[in-house]
Structure 1
């Protein structure tokens, strides 16, 4: 079923137009957040006098790369942090988070996640005793997680019971990951930090900030979080950064992570940027607007699928704190058709039909729609899901609202053509 004069497509387009009229105020609120975040980024650029020569990059050791140094300062200022480490040398969000954790933790310390088990790809980083992979546990760093309560909130009694004298880092995953729960807002994270500091004043509070940047007016490091990490091929790269990640927070903790990324005594002082700086600066500049496009697309997706009788999280009218829109399909064929429809709406690789496969770092077969200019770029329209009950799809991204809208239409058309709606 293709765009054009097809009657079924026109019916679906009418459905979206009616839905947009219903959610107009919610879309406007996203634009307001985008404006404020755009101004914040520009003020950071102005403060550190960003100029054309900062985009030149470096080679070899990368000594005295002023563009790299100023980029760190701009990120730190934008995120309200003492220091930041922004590098193309981070291969993924998981690599960035791993670097932060290995930088801060030492043998004998404990990592305690208070928001349930972290995202699937981090499980191998945590590892098992004597697994030989160089995981945290393999290095004598213990790990525990406290499951969330049935209402999705932190189990503070469970946290108090789990704290030990050697608990060094308290981990918080802002985004829902592959869980059917609400992502945590900045206000909720602020309250978590306050409670943790009451229970364990010396613990480092770490936040996995992936998918969350610029969805609200503040970032975790602006409300007391000690350290956070994220990926540049998600929100803060603005669809232009070709790879990389960032770590931001307390200066001593960022320094420790830098020693892990390179080597003790070297840290952030080296690292050739190899022509990546312009895209990183410009991507950060564009990020607030592009994130708003994706968030508005997620609101539309939630509203449309709710009208069709599917469960969504968050619902269209609920507060947004990340890019991810979860839709519970209940059946594998509904889920697969939806993800395949998102792929068919892509500008890149639209001719490819995704199928479930065993992907490294995941515990179940996963289906992914990823017709992106940047491989794995989650600020671009994509969707993925583990093939397990209750068959929940996780849609994220969209560099333009129009593309998300087209993706929703194409997925609905595929589902309708398969007799599923």
Structure 2
């Protein structure tokens, strides 16, 4: 057996951390059991069988597996309908599909959670510039700034809401921002308030990174439509591509027609050989998300022990699988990501360097030694090269892998800091 961690005295170090976080790990296991029972019941209710795993080609007519998968997703998310397709290539694509399908020229999109992900800004657009953005179609966009304590500002929402406001959007996860992710309780409170102001406005929640983390989803608390990626939480690490939308049937029908063609959306769309992975990935998703959660709780506790600032801290409640690590210096951010990459099962030998990526204003350093490119449910770490140089750690198919990788990342950080004559304990 390789002894690459000999200098770390890994078993004793890990045991001390795990003793500290034991109660949190037990709670995650309990949450996993509850969600696993929910998913299992949906599979049993729809009588999932072997023949559902064989997809279609060509037009994809009469795809009973696809129809059953979408019914199972709808049940799991307590929604009227769902759209689950390999033709949706990412979370950004799923969100774009949702917005373009429910908004029309002259409507207004109002983001309650401040500025959304960097990759959504080109979708929103800045005017009729021919790019095909929402703005290019005459759809107005505004955003409600967060409060000084980085909370959803309901009073400011009341001031900004107009008769043109068709959709109010909430981004559950933080993205590349310093604000916290929003819990289901906070989203539920906002939805109740929105309904008291405008009962007919459509409430959309970007659910990326959040599925199966809490005991409810936004659709359980009144969201009309949610969207996410299958290579994040609900794909369970097995889905190779794809995305989903879930919510009111009216909006799912619109999204399906936008994805394919009017009046054809739910009836067409070949699934090829991916259905088995989609079904099995969804079944494994509660367990896989639980492993990722235990891993990032461990990571936060270990990094805090070494003097780093994290968000959430290890003992805070969580609503997504993203862990923020504030590293303060560009070379520390690079070192952290290089440490994660070196403990990856794929491309561990690569030496990471920041690079420009589509949809981002700043160069990004990204550790992603994953089996599926871009799969955020697998362990990855990345961050934009801008102050305060924050690493965003996410995913982890197994708890053991996350522990090993965090050991590697801290080891790499210590080496860089030692070379810079910097003592970690005096950094913050």
Aligned residues: 419
Equivalent of 2:350 in 335, 352, 359: 352
State the 1:129 CA deviation: 0.5
State the 1:4 CA deviation: 2.0
In the alignment, which residue of structure 2 is the partner of 1:8?
Answer: 7
Asked if structure 2 preserves the Cα contact closer than 8 Å seen for 1:181 and 1:313, the reply is: no
Matched residues in 2 for 1:160 and 1:307: separation? 43
Q: Does 1:90 align with 2:88?
A: yes
CA offsets 1:233-290 (integer angstroms, 9 cap, x no match): 0000011110000000000011111111011111111001011100000000000000
State the 1:75 CA deviation: 0.1
CA offsets 1:21-46 (integer angstroms, 9 cap, x no match): 10100011000000100110000000
| SS in structure 2 at match of 1:383 | strand
Matched residues in 1 for 2:289 and 2:6: separation? 33
In the alignment, which residue of structure 1 is the partner of 2:46?
Answer: 48
State the 1:196 CA deviation: 0.8
In the alignment, which residue of structure 1 is the partner of 2:163?
Answer: 165
Change (3 A) 1:414 1:82: same
Asked if structure 1 preserves the Cα contact closer than 8 Å seen for 2:154 and 2:190, the reply is: no
Q: Does 1:271 align with 2:264?
A: no
CA offsets 1:283-331 (integer angstroms, 9 cap, x no match): 0000000000000111011111111111111011110110000011111
**Structure 2: runs of 5+ lacking an equivalent:** none
TM-score, length of structure 2 as denominator length: 0.96
CA offsets 1:303-361 (integer angstroms, 9 cap, x no match): 11111111111011110110000011111111110011000000000011121111001
In the alignment, which residue of structure 2 is the partner of 1:362?
Answer: 360
Matched residues in 2 for 1:354 and 1:119: separation? 23
| SS in structure 1 at match of 2:145 | coil
Matched residues in 1 for 2:11 and 2:130: separation? 54
Asked if structure 2 preserves the Cα contact closer than 8 Å seen for 1:48 and 1:74, the reply is: yes
In the alignment, which residue of structure 1 is the partner of 2:326?
Answer: 328
Q: Does 1:408 align with 2:400?
A: no
State the 1:16 CA deviation: 2.9
In the alignment, which residue of structure 2 is the partner of 1:109?
Answer: 107
Change (3 A) 1:401 1:364: same
In the alignment, which residue of structure 2 is the partner of 1:257?
Answer: 255
Matched residues in 1 for 2:192 and 2:384: separation? 34
Matched residues in 2 for 1:87 and 1:6: separation? 42
In the alignment, which residue of structure 1 is the partner of 2:146?
Answer: 148
Asked if structure 2 preserves the Cα contact closer than 8 Å seen for 1:59 and 1:272, the reply is: yes
Asked if structure 1 preserves the Cα contact closer than 8 Å seen for 2:303 and 2:410, the reply is: no
RMSD: 1.3
Task: Tell which deviates more after alignment, 231-240 or 174-183.
Answer: 174-183
Matched residues in 1 for 2:258 and 2:250: separation? 13
Matches within 5 A, 1:61-76: 61-76=59-74
**Structure 1: runs of 5+ lacking an equivalent:** none
Asked if structure 2 preserves the Cα contact closer than 8 Å seen for 1:8 and 1:413, the reply is: no
Matched residues in 2 for 1:104 and 1:180: separation? 29
CA offsets 1:366-414 (integer angstroms, 9 cap, x no match): 1100000000000000011011001110000000000000110010111
In the alignment, which residue of structure 2 is the partner of 1:388?
Answer: 386
